[in-house]
Structure 1
């Protein structure tokens, strides 16, 4: 017969499982839903929504008190013994030799880059750079005698990876299918980057270690050039490399989240990320911002692999990724900040043990990172304004924006920066993109995703000391602050695309925590059904997100704004209807000029002439005496100036090119009979 104390304990446990946990779970989720509902309704900061969100998280924690969460956050084990043979630089002189070779190659490279540009340019210096990186990595690689024999994986070993392989294939299809039609507008910034890549092909840009258009590193244009050479100056030629980068982000994110937490959360994360409309959109643009998330995920994956396995080569590869990130979009420099933050956390947690166990790895991280980034570090010292051009243009302090706003709004710096903070922080819950890069009027998350995001992010913040959750919180928070709070006009989504991966992870984490409470309430062990439920919900949300992008967003032609829509249509018209020998005379200023990146890229830099001043009398002078075939294109606001063209060029035909959205005139084409 059970003792009274056991009966009381069992009754208390039964009461908690059947009554208390469900009530607390419903309260937590209800508060998160209420907060997200308020934010979706108001599309602005709201105190009641914030209070509800802040209250939802501790109630969720209370519901899960005493409930094991180990299966949710069971990371890859940190091994007590190195998984690879120890690397000791002082005992193996050939490693010192390789490091010295890397240093010498780097010094020669930097000395050459400081000299006046040779006639052949600096392209061949890339070989010296690759050699230096290879030597620095080889210095920390296992000795060849310890390398394992390569064998083809058996079906049994390959089978666990098949879902990820299939998902990556789906991600690829979603990112390359109809790449010239979704979005159907080619943005001006896309076109400008395409023009830079065409300069690489022509040899006009011959230094991969400098910056070009708007301070973007030229290596980005070198990366884009091969597909333009292959497919021509087309949508596909410009966008395909970045679609592949967006696709590659899927398996890398899976590997990172699986190492930090577990494969179940990782699979749920990448299922949702595969169809997440925000990540999908930027993967389909011919612009380099989508690489930010890949660089950060790959850096963290290699850093934690090195830490867990005491693998200096993985540490060194992480340093290489940090260095490479400096040759693409400025946002990828977040890798440096994150690496420092993670190292500081590990130092706080492990103390002197970190250096004792990981000294070779930390040296590898610093050495390979410096060798890889050396050309851009030198460039930053020689040309600081060019290196920091984007930061100087959009930073609230560097550009003088904050001072101007204080005068315009009559507010203090603290008031303005507080507004900046809430606009950036709420980019997934309440605030829509104010720019033409995405331009949707809807926040990035809907009601359900937003509610789970609140719970997942809140839980991770409360466990900030967890070395497996910290990098994801630091990634999201660091990007929001650096790319949002500290730049004008937040949340400008082109600067914040790197937040997509941690944000989606927090959605899945919040969902998993909620379902863990449900499973505890019904006294069911966490098993296959648990993870299948998470995967199914993630799949439904992912499909709904794809539908939003394809069915709701894309047909509205929001991306790129009106000017890019005009430019894309103009370029198509010029390619299809205008003789290559003809000169296009464009009356579009001050709104648009023929040098708009989209027009020149898609038409292969066709010949055009801008009439910048309004015509007030019949045209004469040089324009009137041009003996070559002419085609006049006029924007609607300058339509009346056609009356000053026809006296000199009579008997022409006028064509109205309608907008694909509302059939209103997009531009007019006058073709003189010459």
Structure 2
């Protein structure tokens, strides 16, 4: 292996080590003290696992999927109810997202993009914040990165005899399915890939024709994996109290009051550059996601992505119309 081939691997290993140090350093005291969410997660819900009360979904604290708590129970069993038992899992999970970001960036674009994205994540405030508290949210980026990586690898791999690369689609389905057992927001990941599939059918029909079987297989396996959770929730619908809490703006909009929904949309749009979450558990109150320079690059990226997406769809529609005529 040449020095040119070794350099990116050395850089990502260095970045991963620095990310681990930043997430581990003084993790027992920063953030200071214990928040009720952390204690409920570890000392109540994860304790159910240690007590042998196995379930796919726990109704405690407005409802929690089980996967993170199974992993957290292992840490509690090894280290006890202290900073290591409660927060060390998040340190490991947050660190692993750095090399996975590099892998996905390299697969989507090239090695340079992958390294820049990994470096940005390694020193990102929100990644650091969530990697230093014992909450289940930190597992979702890891599973989402793995889902997108294997999906994209399957999409770009050459098929033989029109047979899809089953392993890659299967792994994408596995990690997407595991996401359902991690955090409520993971239920949106299939919608992202479904939207991309529709886009693919519009702008690159030949590729879609070659890949639709594998994509269909991926969604089918994901549905099978998620089915036990939804059957469990159907039997105890009251356990998903968190969904009812978050759905208030949509419920109000359905009743004709669009003000709460409008307020939430505006808050989401400005959080990237102007005003972030005011809850100190998740943020330095009102700190935006990006600084001024990074925010410019972020919105420029959104604009470029929107331009290429709309351009591809318009060109495809124009081609179909002209061909028909």
Q: 1:366 aligns with which of 219, 224, 230?
A: 219
Cα displacement (A) at 1:154? 8.6
Residue 391 of structure 1 is matched in structure 2 by: 243
Q: 2:101 aligns with which of 253, 256, 259?
A: 253
Which protein has the larger Cα radius of gyration, Structure 1 or Structure 2?
1
Cα displacement (A) at 1:296? 2.0
The answer on 1:345 being equivalent to 2:191 is no
Cα distance in 1 between the residues matched to 2:84 and 2:252: 37
Residue 414 of structure 1 is matched in structure 2 by: 258
Cα displacement (A) at 1:427? 0.6
Cα displacement (A) at 1:426? 0.9
Residue 177 of structure 1 is matched in structure 2 by: 25
The answer on 1:212 being equivalent to 2:56 is no
Q: 1:449 aligns with which of 269, 294, 297?
A: 294
**Length-normalised TM-score, structure 2:** 0.85
Cα distance in 2 between the residues matched to 1:159 and 1:466: 37
Residue 463 of structure 1 is matched in structure 2 by: 308
The answer on 1:197 being equivalent to 2:46 is yes
* CA-atom RMSD in angstroms: 2.4
Cα distance in 1 between the residues matched to 2:147 and 2:88: 23
For structure 1, the 5+ residue unaligned runs are 1-152, 407-411, 468-674
Aligned pairs (5 A) from 1:202-601: 202-203=51-52, 205-207=53-55, 209-213=56-60, 214-309=62-157, 310=159, 311-351=165-205, 353-355=207-209, 357-386=210-239, 388-397=240-249, 413-437=257-281, 438-465=283-310
Cα displacement (A) at 1:241? 1.1
Q: Deviations over 1:589-618 (max 9, x none)?
A: xxxxxxxxxxxxxxxxxxxxxxxxxxxxxx
> Structure 1 residues 315, 447: closer, same or farther in 2, change over 3 A?
same
Aligned pairs (5 A) from 1:58-97: none
Q: Is the 8 A contact 2:177 2:223 kept in 1?
A: yes
Q: Is the 8 A contact 1:176 1:284 kept in 2?
A: yes
Q: Aligned pair count?
A: 303
Q: Deviations over 1:450-481 (max 9, x none)?
A: 222232222222222589xxxxxxxxxxxxxx
Secondary structure of 2:306 counterpart: helix
Cα distance in 2 between the residues matched to 1:466 and 1:333: 29
Residue 565 of structure 1 is matched in structure 2 by: none
Secondary structure of 2:288 counterpart: coil
Cα distance in 1 between the residues matched to 2:36 and 2:175: 29
Q: Is the 8 A contact 1:186 1:235 kept in 2?
A: no
> Structure 1 residues 171, 402: closer, same or farther in 2, change over 3 A?
same
> Structure 1 residues 418, 223: closer, same or farther in 2, change over 3 A?
same
Cα distance in 2 between the residues matched to 1:330 and 1:166: 33
> Structure 1 residues 431, 229: closer, same or farther in 2, change over 3 A?
same
> Structure 1 residues 313, 454: closer, same or farther in 2, change over 3 A?
same
Cα distance in 2 between the residues matched to 1:220 and 1:289: 9
**Length-normalised TM-score, structure 1:** 0.42
Cα displacement (A) at 1:420? 2.1
Cα distance in 2 between the residues matched to 1:453 and 1:156: 30
Cα displacement (A) at 1:247? 0.9
Cα displacement (A) at 1:166? 1.3
Q: Is the 8 A contact 1:179 1:239 kept in 2?
A: yes
Cα distance in 1 between the residues matched to 2:252 and 2:128: 31
Secondary structure of 1:413 counterpart: coil
Cα distance in 1 between the residues matched to 2:186 and 2:230: 15
Cα distance in 2 between the residues matched to 1:186 and 1:346: 46
Cα displacement (A) at 1:225? 0.5
Cα distance in 2 between the residues matched to 1:359 and 1:460: 24
Cα distance in 2 between the residues matched to 1:402 and 1:370: 29
Cα distance in 2 between the residues matched to 1:276 and 1:198: 31
Cα displacement (A) at 1:335? 1.2
Residue 472 of structure 1 is matched in structure 2 by: none
Q: Is the 8 A contact 1:257 1:266 kept in 2?
A: yes
For structure 2, the 5+ residue unaligned runs are 160-164, 313-325
Cα displacement (A) at 1:382? 2.7
Cα distance in 1 between the residues matched to 2:14 and 2:231: 43
> Structure 1 residues 416, 221: closer, same or farther in 2, change over 3 A?
closer
> Structure 1 residues 448, 160: closer, same or farther in 2, change over 3 A?
closer
Secondary structure of 1:464 counterpart: helix
Q: Is the 8 A contact 1:291 1:332 kept in 2?
A: no
Q: Is the 8 A contact 2:252 2:258 kept in 1?
A: no
Q: Is the 8 A contact 1:219 1:328 kept in 2?
A: yes
Cα distance in 2 between the residues matched to 1:300 and 1:284: 25
Cα distance in 2 between the residues matched to 1:328 and 1:233: 21
Cα distance in 2 between the residues matched to 1:305 and 1:373: 23
Q: Is the 8 A contact 2:173 2:218 kept in 1?
A: yes
More divergent stretch after superposition (212-221 vs 315-324): 212-221
